[in-house]
Amino acid sequence: MKAYVRHSMGVVGWMEKPDPVCGPDEVICRPLALCPCSSDVHTAWEMDGAWLKDITLGHEVIGQVIEAGKDVKDFKVGDKVIVPCTTPTWKHPDIQDGDPWDAGGMFAGINFSNYEDGVMAEKFKVRSADMNLCHLPEGMPYEKAIMVVDMMTTGFHGCELANVRYGDTVVVFGIGPVGLMAIAGAKLMGAAQLIGIGTRPNCVKIAKEYGATDIISYKDGDVVEQIMKITNGRGVDVAIVAGGDAETLGQAYMVTRCGGAMTNLNVITGTNEFKFTYASCGGGFMGHKTVNGGLCPGGRRRAERLTAMVQADRLDPSLMVTHTFHGLDSIGEALQLMKDKPRDLIKPIVICD
Ligand code: NDP
Ligand code: ZN
């Protein structure tokens, strides 16, 4: 079969690979729709490591089951499925410690295009299918459903990690698709003043539609000063980082009020250092501020819950789809677009059938 792979750092392309082999609790799917992600860009162009050689890229997909292992109960050949980008095996004892996404080691739940082949291929395998897949509701457009698998779960996770409460003042650093979902999630969780940081005009427009009350630009001077000004010197209850660089973490910490929370969702590459100055970290993390971060939770129940929110029209995540391609062959072009990030891009989608 054909797979779109990262041959080596910065070198991507098609490659022939053997068909995936279906284990007893696994399914094999064909992709119906795929989205490239900023994280694919990190994997393909910014991350190095022998284990990434010729790995199939991609982790955002809606699929159709073409083979099901003998122990799979709830999914059969022909079913259309939402495939969370985080698919733990659900078999590691660390799960009982409460963090299934990292059970067995950091990022262990995220196998696609991380330490096993991803989904940008004619066929891909999903492990622990009964525990990880979610049925695609009849009539739900792929453009909506595919946002559940990573963008919604990630953006919403920022709000969960920082425990957004009714009436909170929240700032979201970065209003690409991850930050936009953090804005939508914060509104749903009851944020009052909701500040987005970014400059792309269509992101600004959609941030406002999702609930942003204020937009500031990191290109218009010191963001810390700007945030302190519009919060009357108090700072924010919650800061969520979904863009920027290593310096952004210090800025987010600094604008968080004492006792508040900041959380990071941004995969930061190209540095070995995160800079917290004496001032930015409050003289040594003395302000009872919670600092957290994490990769997107996955699994079946979470995907079903998020899909239910889309079905109930709590939000329309397909507003973020700006570019549509047709045919699996166009995945390279769509991924390149994600790398180039033209100003009018939020999220590209490839419709495969
Ligand atoms: P985008 O590149 O589309 O968006 C980044 C945003 O950050 C843009 O709004 C950009 O502004 C803004 N930005 C850039 N520089 C700054 C700055 N100095 N201060 C504040 N904002 C800034 O990225 P995505 O939304 O696709 O992804 C965001 C990150 O999330 C990526 O690193 C991705 O890998 C990661 N990610 C993490 C996951 C997780 O599980 N934790 C899952 C999926 C993705 P502008 O409008 O000017 O472009
Ligand atoms: Zn992704």
* CATH, residue 199: 3.40.50.720
| Nearest Cα residue to atom 21 of ligand 1 | 174
Instruction: Verify that 162 and 276 share a domain, yes or no.
Output: yes
Helix (H, G, I), strand (E, B) or coil at 329: helix
Q: CB-side exposure of 253: number of CA atoms within 13 Å?
A: 25
Q: Closest ligand 1 atom to the C-alpha of 293?
A: 41
Note whether residue 309 is domain-resident: no
pLDDT of amino acid 52: 96
pLDDT of amino acid 295: 92
Note whether residue 334 is domain-resident: yes
Token pair belonging to 90 = 């659900």
Instruction: Verify that 173 and 141 share a domain, yes or no.
Output: no
Closest ligand (CA of 37): 2
Instruction: Verify that 142 and 159 share a domain, yes or no.
Output: no
pLDDT of amino acid 344: 97
Instruction: Verify that 159 and 142 share a domain, yes or no.
Output: no
Beta strand extents in 85-174 (DSSP E only): 124-126, 134-135, 170-173
Q: Which domain holds residue 114?
A: 2-146+316-351
Instruction: Verify that 210 and 74 share a domain, yes or no.
Output: no
Note whether residue 299 is domain-resident: no
Measured in angstroms, how far is the CA atom of residue 41 from the centroid of ligand 2? 10
Beta strand extents in 60-209 (DSSP E only): 60-68, 80-83, 124-126, 134-135, 170-173, 194-197
**Which of 204, 216, 265 most suits a substitution to test ligand 1, by most atoms within 8 Å of the C-beta?**
265
CATH number for the domain spanning 18: value is 3.90.180.10
| pTM over cut 0.95 | yes
pLDDT of amino acid 2: 98
Taking alpha carbons only, the member of 191, 200, 197, 218 closest to residue 346 is 200
Mean pLDDT by 10 residues, the chain (353 residues): 98 98 98 97 94 97 98 98 97 93 91 96 98 98 98 98 98 98 98 98 98 97 97 97 93 94 92 76 83 95 98 98 98 98 97 90
Note whether residue 131 is domain-resident: yes
Any ligand 1 atom below 6 A from CB of 197: yes
Q: CA of 108: how far to CAs of 11, 112, 157, 296, 297, in Å?
A: 25, 10, 18, 12, 12
Number of separate domains in the chain? 2
